[in-house]
């Protein structure tokens, strides 16, 4: 099947500038941003890691992780049929159907979908805002990606706990303001926070986001890593962001 045959009306193919990988995106749906790139970089992954991505959206996280370790396998869950179909076509575009499988499914029913204790890493870039938020948008697809309309953090943590092997890792990203809520929720599902990194727009601004790794059935003990600063004082990308994006002098990160 040709590239054009893989596309639906209004869709486009974006080059990730990583190992020739590309992603199919639609302007009417949630498109990946810097958050996904930072989350994939924060995740510790190596070859032969078995991964599950909860709420895969475009499929960007499995692609970025594959770009770091080509022998991973990943099962990706997406509740929206059209979005899941787009992610599957992205995997076909990259010849990765045998390594990254996309399921159209509700992660709240994970026990009927994927096996218990089968994964070393569960990753998720979940909706950031509670469903009661006034920020909900009129576009249902965007609302599902941004708000806890289809699942909550508690739902995602429960799914991660079911999927992970003992001492397996759950990696996710949320607004920094939800730190205490996240810790409480994780511990209700035997997930103990082990690594934490705050993301700041600039060094003199409060943390906007947090990256967290939790482990299943381990003792307490949290490592707070050095903050990740996205922009220098003059608005240019920091050296670390440039490293994460594999930037050249002419390429700038997209917010």
Average pLDDT over residues 225-234: 98
Whether the per-residue pLDDT at 146 is higher than 80: the answer is no
Strands (E) in the chain, as ranges, are 12-15, 22-25, 50-54, 73-78, 100-104, 119-124, 164-175, 191-202, 207-216, 223-224, 228-231
Cα–Cα distance, 225 to 122 (Å, whole number): 20
193-229 pLDDT, tens digit each? 999 999 999 999 999 999 999 999 999 999 999 999 9
Cα–Cα distance, 140 to 36 (Å, whole number): 21
Which pTM does this prediction carry?
0.90
Cα–Cα distance, 146 to 175 (Å, whole number): 12
Angle at 69 between CA 68 and CA 74, to 5 degrees: 110
Average pLDDT over residues 225-244: 97
Cα–Cα distance, 112 to 105 (Å, whole number): 10
Cα–Cα distance, 159 to 51 (Å, whole number): 13
What is the 8-class DSSP label of residue 249? T
Nearest in space to 49 (alpha carbons), one of 22, 25, 68: 68
Q: Is 55 left (phi over 0), alpha (psi -120 to 50) or beta?
A: left
Domains, the chain, ranges and CATH? 3-244 (3.40.50.150)
């Amino acid at each position: 099947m040709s590239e054009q045959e893989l596309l639906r009306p209004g869709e486009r193919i974006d080059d990730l500038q990583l190992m020739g990988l590309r992603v199919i995106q639609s302007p009417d749906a949630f498109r990946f941003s810097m958050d996904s790139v930072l989350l994939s970089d924060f995740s510790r992954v190596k070859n032969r890691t078995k991964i599950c991505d909860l709420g895969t959206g475009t499929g960007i996280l499995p692609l970025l992780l594959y770009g770091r370790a080509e022998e991973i396998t990943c099962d990706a869950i997406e509740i929206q049929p059209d979005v899941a179909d787009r992610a599957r076509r992205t995997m076909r575009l990259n010849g990765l159907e045998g390594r990254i499988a996309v399921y159209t499914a509700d992660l709240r029913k994970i026990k009927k979908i994927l096996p218990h204790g089968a994964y070393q890493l569960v990753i998720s870039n979940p909706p950031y805002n509670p469903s009661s938020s006034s920020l909900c948008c009129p576009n249902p697809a965007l609302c599902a990606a941004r708000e806890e309309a289809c699942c909550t953090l508690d739902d995602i943590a429960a799914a991660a706990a079911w999927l992970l092997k003992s001492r397996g890792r759950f990696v996710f990203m949320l607004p920094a303001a939800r730190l205490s809520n996240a810790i409480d929720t994780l511990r209700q599902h035997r997930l103990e926070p082990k690594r934490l990194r705050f993301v700041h727009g600039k060094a003199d601004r409060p943390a906007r986001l947090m990256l967290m790794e939790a482990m299943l059935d381990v003792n307490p003990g949290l490592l707070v890593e050095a903050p990740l600063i996205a922009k220098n004082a003059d608005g240019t990308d920091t050296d670390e962001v440039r490293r994460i994006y594999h930037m050249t002098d002419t390429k700038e990160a997209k917010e």
